[in-house]
Chain A
Amino acid sequence: MLLVTCAAALMLLQQAPAEGTDWDAEFGIAAKERDPLTGEFPVAPYEQSNANAGAAPYASGALVAAFGGREGIVRIAARTVELSEADPRIAAIFASHDMVRLKRTLGEQLCYLIGAGCDYTGRDMRSAHADMGLTKADLNALVENLQAAMREAGVPFAAQNRLLAKLAPMAREVVTR
């Protein structure tokens, strides 16, 4: 009883930390800042290549018009990310990632694969999804959101499937459990 009282008294005597302590600095955590131009967080350097897009693009530009040109494709990519962020099935996967960067790189990837002449500057599928522990169910949810975005943009179903045909084989690199 006495010991407990002593301990309690000693605890009460401790000094509260000063207000406004920079805890990140105390624990040696470097603050990440968004690039003022692009709005993206910096990433570790990697070798950029269109081969990172995970598939060869359609050679003819026949699909480009169906997707509303480059602008249409970029809008569809951004919309897919938005729908996924609001999708309770997979929102948690996106929560800690840079959505500004994802919208840009996904737009580039789709634009490249459809044959609209973009370059893909993102990482390859395996390293971009490493340690995310994605399942096939997560992938299905993303596919449904991409389909919804394409449907909203008025992309004909056969053209939607032509794009999915490029993405489907990448499941091997993306699904890890």
Chain B
Amino acid sequence: MSIIAPCLATLCSLLGDAASADPQIAYEPVIDAAPVAPPVAPPAPPAPPAPAAMERALAPLAGASALGDAGLRLGRAELFKGGKLLLTNGVATAEGSSGGGLARWATIGGRQMPGGIGASLHATAIELADYGWRSYGVLVGVGDRLELSYARADFDTRKVGVLLGIGEGYAFNLDTFGAKLRLAGDLVYGAAAMPQIAIGIEHKRSRDGALVRALGAAAASGTDVTLSATKLLLGHSLLANATLRYTKANELGLLGFGAAGAGHELHLEGSLAYQLSRRAVVGTEYRSKPDNLGLSEDDWIDLFAAYALTRHLTVTAAYVDLGAIATIPGQRGGFLSAQVAF
């Protein structure tokens, strides 16, 4: 104490002197001072445009709303941030997976990029000569890797129900739980010869167990295994898809699974589509199917057009020829589907 006191007194006197001699030393308002022109001015040529810089500076504020492009976060994953190119998430198939309407593709649904989580909802109506199909479903996409989907389909037999002996307007109902895992490749990027490849399953449960067994089906539920390869061939504006499906489903499972002496078979789904613009694509699909029940079940074909109205909303319209269903031939008609994706 006795040592520090004189020291402090000296400092204080020094401080007093210094402050009175040159008050600017300690209190110069450095932060508010006008910036000194940099000694080396860069030679003039093209000065960066000020408006662009200003836009950049203001830009982060533009999308700062809770559900703006910044998206939400779920742990380390970005929720609903999007980022996919238009239509590269595919459209919902009849079974709820991402694909082309009837055929499953190797695409992962939802608009998310790697590190993100996305989702989509869809509703589909098919009007045939004698039947009506309604389906709707939900899908969650995890990065560019995994897709989980659920779809519910209601198949109305209308007046034909009387003919089939099950009553007018009897509806078959089917739940489909799907999972798809991308193994390799990229739909858009990378070598043209390397498609996006995915394996998947579709576990289906008929809600009409007693009836489908009476029709001859061996089971009311079954699981398809799929292997898909899909590529956008930019040089030709073509999207090509091939899917192998190992299945025993009768009419996708609406009429149960398998039959006496009929188990899983390997079937093919093919799609070829032409990109008219970023938003519009037209194409055709073929899907082979088993005929386990001997009800002259036919292969399916369609001609479709899909249009991305916005980043989030895609509508698909198609002409479908589903051949004979439950012995009633000539089941052709219109397919309309809407998908909302995040």
Chain A residues within 8 Å of B, Cβ to Cβ: 2, 5-6, 9-10, 12-13, 15-16, 19-20, 22, 31, 33-34, 36, 38-39, 82, 85-86, 88-89, 91, 95, 99-100, 135-137, 139-141, 143-144, 147, 157-158, 161-162, 164-165, 168-169, 171-172, 175
Contact = CB atoms under 8 A, between A and B. Distances in A.
B205 to A, nearest CB: 36
A126 to B, nearest CB: 15
A135 B81 CA distance: 14
A58 B23 CA distance: 73
B8 A39 contact: no
Interface stretch (B260-268, B275-283, B284-292): B275-283
Contacts of A19: 36
B237 A157 contact: yes
B186 interface: yes
B56 to A, nearest CB: 5
A82 B25 contact: no
B234 A2 contact: no
Main secondary structure of the interface of B (DSSP, over half): loop
A9 B189 contact: no
Nearest to B194: A169
B234 A85 contact: no
Given A5-B8, A137-B83, A165-B192, 8 more contacts: A6-B4, A9-B8, A88-B56, A88-B62, A88-B69, A99-B48, A139-B189, A169-B192
Contacts of A6: 4, 7-8, 11
B26 A136 contact: no
A175 to B, nearest CB: 8
B43 interface: yes
Contacts of B11: 6, 9-10
B42 interface: yes
B224 to A, nearest CB: 30
B15 A12 contact: yes
A56 B1 CA distance: 83
A87 to B, nearest CB: 8
Nearest to B234: A165
A95 B235 CA distance: 32
B113 A89 contact: no
B50 interface: no
Contacts of A171: 186, 189-190
B31 interface: no
Contacts of B26: 12, 16
B39 A22 contact: yes
Main secondary structure of the interface of A (DSSP, over half): helix
A169 B194 CA distance: 10
Nearest to A86: B55
Interface of B: 4, 7-8, 11-12, 14-15, 18, 24-26, 28, 30, 36, 39-40, 42-43, 45-46, 48, 52, 55-56, 59-60, 62-63, 69, 83-85, 113-115, 144, 186, 188-192, 233-237, 275-278
B113 to A, nearest CB: 4
Contacts of A165: 192, 233-235
B62 A140 contact: no
A168 B189 contact: yes
Contacts of B278: 147, 157
A38 B36 CA distance: 28
B235 A162 contact: yes
Given A12-B26, A13-B18, A34 B42 contact: yes
B74 to A, nearest CB: 17
Contact of B188 (A2, A39, A168): A168
Contact of B15 (A13, A36, A95, A137): A13
Contacts of B42: 33-34
B113 A137 contact: yes
A168 B236 CA distance: 13
B25 A15 contact: yes
A88 B189 contact: no
A31 B40 contact: yes
Contacts of A158: 237
Given A100-B46, A158-B237, A165-B234, A144 B85 contact: yes
13 contacts: A2-B8, A6-B8, A16-B26, A20-B36, A39-B46, A136-B83, A140-B83, A144-B85, A161-B236, A161-B237, A162-B234, A165-B192, A169-B192
A69 B18 CA distance: 72
Nearest to A170: B189
